[in-house]
A and B are shown apart, each in its own frame.
Chain A
């Protein structure tokens, strides 16, 4: 009998196990991530809301140097070229494609830079949309101000898309869907109204030092001023008759915007508000707005904040400095063009942001050698951008290394808008309005900074003087493409009559004997807008390509 009992009890126990265990397991396949958050149970108090807001701000880093937006704007202009150096920097031909403006909707520059820029700016939009919809039902202190910040940030991300691609789908909800493009004019109007609403219904006039970098009314005004001066470009759908002129100045004069019938006047008043604001003034010295301690500069209006911490710092110096000038090893890529460097007046102190001649370690000051052990010298020109040497080309070094840097992370803020540009915008629109004396006075005020003059006063002003002054003041600040398009010189960057040399199509330097400085660029007018990357059209069949591509 005993074995039978054992059999029975084992059988019973086994059956009990078989019966219960499956049911227990099968009924629970729900997921609860232990180290992640789901948005449904978040944004309930101000601390959580600010964490969400920080995420929307964090995407600003992708708009600063060492990002595809900056690269696309700078390297496609005459401010920066990235030559192939030995076996370095070919990178699928993307840099040459970008600089030579040979891009197509599927070429190397597009798949990396334009597609990256599109995704980066739109990710900012998506984060803002998610944030704004999630905080909708929540109640917390300063809600109006925080919502205004979210809207202003979203408007800024749309501003970048408008500048680079023209009209794009305007989306303010969180669902992923295929949508058609708006016109560029509609997008302009949307951004304008969002910025005005944010400015007038929530953004503070200024921030305490412990909150510096967050959006203010001044930030909204600065973007608006820039949009208005560019209204002759930003409200047009493309190059050609009735559209953007690729070869002559595109004035804001007479362009109607929501703020008034003349965008130039609107630009004037937005810039004037900032210049009269008690919260901004020109910095005492030109470098103060770029140094690692530039968060104290009274000139910076809307910045991307950087601090010397892993993943949170500015690493723009890595792309241009030679391998041996900084630690960790920089990349020795980005250079400026000889013609750009040489267009500065030698006495202009703003030219000092360019490194040229014998070089040293930027922090220690100790002279450095190139890889072979010979002293490192940066030349003014590049003989052949397809096969350059280590030391060729001057380097823009506007944001100097932070002594407290953590790896490549430096604490310099990157100003998208600073008061200096407001002087230039006001001067430009005053000139358009026929007030040349005011324009001249504004330019000279900028040259004669209160603390230290950077250049001798100008005697006269015209559009080309203004374009040059913008180059001298804003070199490397991501504005050159926009300026060249507005002034009608972006797609026709031929700089010299004796362009062809050695059959290579390189551009002669300042004298006929000088080595080449770059390549001829006389490309089609439609390139005032970047192409919509084909991969984006594949993902959204409703997107129509920009004309010409």
Chain B
């Protein structure tokens, strides 16, 4: 270890600036450690006592579990057991302020005195309150009292959010936190999601927040290898967070502004999601068991409106008569069936196949969850197992998860040493709909669903048996049901997340903590395109592929925490630490083409005529030093300063290290004398500033590297000769994307916090955007990753929670989250210039938002343009359809074939006439949640809305074109009555950019608490519930769903193309605690 250290130091000093910084760091660490030594002797023995008691609900007088009972200003804290009881042991004698907090209740304080060797009793009753201002909050590298927090932090009540069919934590956050916009990629089980906290901060780097599970940051990359790109685009990856069982989640905290997230430095510019899992508890009556289960049924919420077989046949006949369709097309209607023994005994049978109905189904899902928890005062455990199976609403798609979790804590040395262990391991079996969409002009499953001739049958039966009907001698139009059923695409991931930690109270108020984390995921992707399907034949006689991806992340954290109270209400809370993470991934791909039988599937690649194997590996490291100091004065003023110093191996030497500072403060107005007597039970002002980073670059990006691959191979003679090519220009100046953010907020509570909330405004500025920029040629690659350009964003967020009714037997809580976000590209790779001749403003821009579908190669729908937000639609302006059925577009006089501002030749306008034609960003988003408890009944509702955004209906662009029929393809019914001529081709324009405001009843749940004492004993519960997801959608948008997956391209937003349909789900469930 010592030798490595010396070698490395020598290397680092070759970069003077970095060397100096490293020296600083090397001095800092021993200083911290010296502080520890000094602290150790102070930890002497003191006489201790205990505090015991019970917490009940003030309205129902029922015991309350999971209430945090803490002695303010000390590390002594405890959660109440299911019977509401708690015991705090080993408390040094003296006076204390006991605080009881629980989400959904107002905090209660009691002054108590602990005597040496005695047990002090405390009875607490909590009144319901609005959700937001309550508990002790998990922040970066520790917890903080809510009132001391000076940054923007939202919490989500995990229990309230875990309703309906929830497969991952993203779904729990949706609609429940202001300024957090979550869009599921599709209606697929366990689908991935796009998450934007405060609109994101980057153009090309990641816009996804950092996830931290039990204090350990997660490398949230796909855990399964991507599917083969042999045909079309690979299916979208599922959510890597599917590994966590939502029932194991205790709390979710979102850090949004720079002052809150800066402690996570380089990875924090898109916000941080902190997830804490449930820990072990001991109860009065021994271990407690929890069993919950649900079963649900799902069906597609909406369907495309395609022509039926009869309608299609009628249309084709009409158009043949009108001379618009080749009469030969009549031969493509239906199939010819033999009716008798003679060759002439045939008849034409026209089917009425609804391919959409054939591909979708009502599916069934269920989940079984068993957890038990128990232990002694010193050693506690919680173990849980989960089995969940979800069928997708289209054929051949689903998710199956087996997951186990074990957590144990142990305390020793009079609770001065606390050791914890969390292990989660899950095995997920994802069945993908292979060749989902984006299949180029040939079309994948959904493209063929929309265009495959509806007069053809799904299957035919003859003397050889029943088989899928495929067009004879055709390879480019394919039976979508056969594609869905015959192609195999499976992803299996086994992932283990383990962390161990040891926490030691070195001295009063001083705690040292060591955490070691391991995240190991092994994903396998298995695919087979059989000979029995024309596609498989075409790929070279059957194509089989297996790919494995190993992801390993190792994390080590050492944290020192010092908390002290001085005088009345003065406090200091210091956190300092070090974190080291190493990320590795290895991929192995084996593929074979040409199988004489389909029997092997993907299990015998050696049986292929042409096998192919490949492998690659990557590694990168992140090293960080961080401190956070929070100072409180008179319980009124709080100031927090954060410094984080991050080093990443992925940047060029000299640019590997960066400092991320933040400063914030709050003024607890309601503590002031002059606020006495006002209805404000709580009022705080907060102001913060900070700098965050976005690493956003893969390993080795700064280097010129040579890759040995097919692209570099060249035949010398007639044999391939392996070669190398430079796959990057490198960039020795590459550094972090940096976002600075200012945040101002008011937090308020009224009427003893019956009504509470906050209003926040933020402004952020990202500079040194990581963009692939064209470089001056000659260059090894056309583009180079550079730090160029700026992006700004600002927004307003408001959260209001209220207890509207609070009577014994009836409690009604409701909450509203509101967010309005605006972003703007300020500058790309060069400043705008003014054209000397025309006076026009010329700005470098980036075309993005590739249009999908046949005939749309190289056609962009969006432009990243200075002065406009990301997600700006750019294209021709549609004016209408002329008498001959041609589309007419706006044009300027300078264009050819332009008269009176209207195009005249049917060719569409010139590129110079393109304009901004839409904005994919909503004006504002809303989330409303409400929960009513009446006697034994409870009813909860979650409604989400987004207003003002545009969506490009790419599906309608392609499939609302009657011209489809000239190629023997079906189209959407609205096109029948559309005046657009049959000869018109699909041209992107403002016509296809639609308003997509919506209101969605995301979830409604009704529950009933059963009284089954013979089963659950006293004070334990049984709950029966029914839940519906996505029951109502109100929108003017004409497509399937206004919430769309927006592709993986550069900052693409708001494009709708034939996604997997979103289901409507009805769930029934039972939860038992005994």
Contacts and interface: CB of A to CB of B under 8 A. Distances in A.
A, B assembled together: yes
B907 interface: yes
Contact of A214 (B413, B716, B964): B716
B128 interface: no
Interface stretch (B852-860, B940-948, B1062-1070): B852-860
A328 interface: yes
Contacts of B328: 370, 372-374
Contacts of A295: 717-718
B775 interface: yes
A52 B777 contact: no
Interface string A303-317: 001110111100000
Contact of A213 (B704, B717, B858, B961): B717
A17 interface: yes
A20 B514 CA distance: 13
A85 B726 contact: no
B541 to A, nearest CB: 10
Interface stretch (B253-261, B386-394, B643-651): B643-651
Given A18-B32, A369-B473, A88 B781 contact: no
B205 interface: no
A18 B558 contact: yes
Interface in A3-28: 3, 6-8, 10-11, 14-15, 17-28
Contacts of A259: none
Nearest to B560: A18
Given A39-B704, A176-B729, A31 B580 contact: no
A7 B507 CA distance: 11
A108 interface: yes
Interface stretch (A53-61, A220-228, A435-443): A53-61
Contacts of B649: 29-31
Interface in B742-800: 773-782, 784
B146 interface: no
B854 to A, nearest CB: 5
Contacts of B830: 538, 541
B11 interface: yes
B40 A386 contact: no
B549 to A, nearest CB: 14
Contact of B512 (A18, A361, A505, A541): A18
Contacts of A327: 475, 537-538
Contact of B858 (A27, A94, A411): A94
A305 to B, nearest CB: 4
A94 B32 CA distance: 64
Contacts of A214: 716
B986 A90 contact: yes
A539 B775 contact: yes
A125 interface: yes
Contact of A212 (B329, B618, B718, B844): B718
A55 B331 contact: no
Interface in A422-479: none
A337 B854 CA distance: 23
A106 B863 CA distance: 14
Given A19-B30, A127-B725, A312-B720, A372 B985 contact: no
Contacts of A386: 906-907, 983, 985
B92 interface: no
Interface string A492-511: 00000000000011000000
B993 to A, nearest CB: 16
Contacts of B727: 36
A92 interface: yes
A93 interface: yes
A306 B714 CA distance: 8
Contact of A15 (B37, B720, B908): B37
Given A86-B963, A372-B329, A328 B29 contact: no
Nearest to B622: A29
A92 B914 CA distance: 12
Given A23-B26, A26-B22, A27-B5, A10 B714 contact: no
A35 B724 CA distance: 12
Interface string B944-964: 000000000000001001011
Contacts of A54: 712-714, 716, 721-724
A469 to B, nearest CB: 32
Contacts of B329: 372, 374
Contacts of A38: 703-706
B474 A324 contact: yes
Interface residues of A, number: 122
B29 A406 contact: no
Nearest to B32: A18
A19 B26 CA distance: 10
A331 interface: yes
Contacts of A504: 905
A118 B777 contact: yes
Interface string B617-641: 1111101010000000000000000
A329 B854 CA distance: 14
A375 to B, nearest CB: 8
Contact of B856 (A91, A369, A411): A91
Contacts of B539: 328, 407
Contacts of B710: 310-312
B545 to A, nearest CB: 13
B538 to A, nearest CB: 4
A133 B567 CA distance: 72
Contacts of B612: 310
Given A87-B963, A306-B715, A112 B858 contact: yes
Interface string B537-562: 11110000000000000001010000
Contacts of A106: 911-912
B93 interface: no
A61 B723 CA distance: 14
B322 interface: no
Contacts of A85: 967
Contacts of B163: none
B706 A39 contact: yes
Interface string A361-372: 100001011111
Nearest to A92: B859
Contacts of B1019: none
B467 to A, nearest CB: 18
A318 B540 CA distance: 15
A538 B777 CA distance: 12
Contacts of A307: 715, 718-720
B502 interface: yes
A88 B718 contact: no
B580 A30 contact: no
A253 to B, nearest CB: 34
A115 B907 CA distance: 23
Top 10 A-B pairs ranked by shortest CB distance? A54-B723, A374-B328, A27-B8, A372-B332, A122-B777, A92-B859, A540-B776, A25-B580, A126-B778, A539-B774
Given A14-B504, A58-B712, A91-B856, 11 more contacts: A15-B37, A23-B26, A29-B648, A30-B649, A51-B721, A51-B723, A89-B855, A108-B858, A127-B780, A310-B612, A536-B776
12 contacts: A6-B413, A31-B699, A34-B616, A37-B705, A54-B714, A86-B855, A307-B719, A311-B710, A370-B328, A387-B985, A539-B774, A540-B776
